[in-house]
Amino acid sequence: TYVVTENCIRCKYMDCVNVCPVDCFYEGENMLVIHPDECIDCGVCEPECPAEAIVPDSDPAASDWINLNERYAALWPNISVAKPPPTDAAAMDGVPDKRSLYLS
Residues that bind ligand F3S (CB under 6 A): 4, 8, 11-16, 32, 49, 51, 53-54
Give just the sign of the alpha carbon dihedral 97, 28, 19, 82: negative
Q: Indicate whether 33 belongs to the interface with ligand SF4 (CB under 6 A).
A: no
Cα separation, 62 vs 7, in Å, equals 12
Q: Measured from the CB of residue 2, what is the shortest distance to ligand F3S in angstroms?
A: 10
Cα separation, 40 vs 72, in Å, equals 18
Q: Considering just the CA atoms, what is the radius of gyration of the chain in Å?
A: 12
Residue 7 contacts by C-beta under 8 Å, 6 or more apart in sequence?
A: 51, 52, 53, 93, 94, 98
Could you say which of ligand SF4, ligand F3S, none residue 14 binds, taking C-beta under 5 to 8 angstroms by partner kind? Answer: ligand F3S
Stretch that binds ligand SF4, among 36-44, 60-68, 82-90, 96-104 (CB under 6 A): 36-44
Could you say which of ligand SF4, ligand F3S, none residue 26 binds, taking C-beta under 5 to 8 angstroms by partner kind? Answer: none
Q: Measured from the CB of residue 89, what is the shortest distance to ligand F3S in angstroms?
A: 8
Stretch that binds ligand SF4, among 15-23, 59-67, 79-87, 90-98 (CB under 6 A): 15-23
Cα separation, 29 vs 72, in Å, equals 11
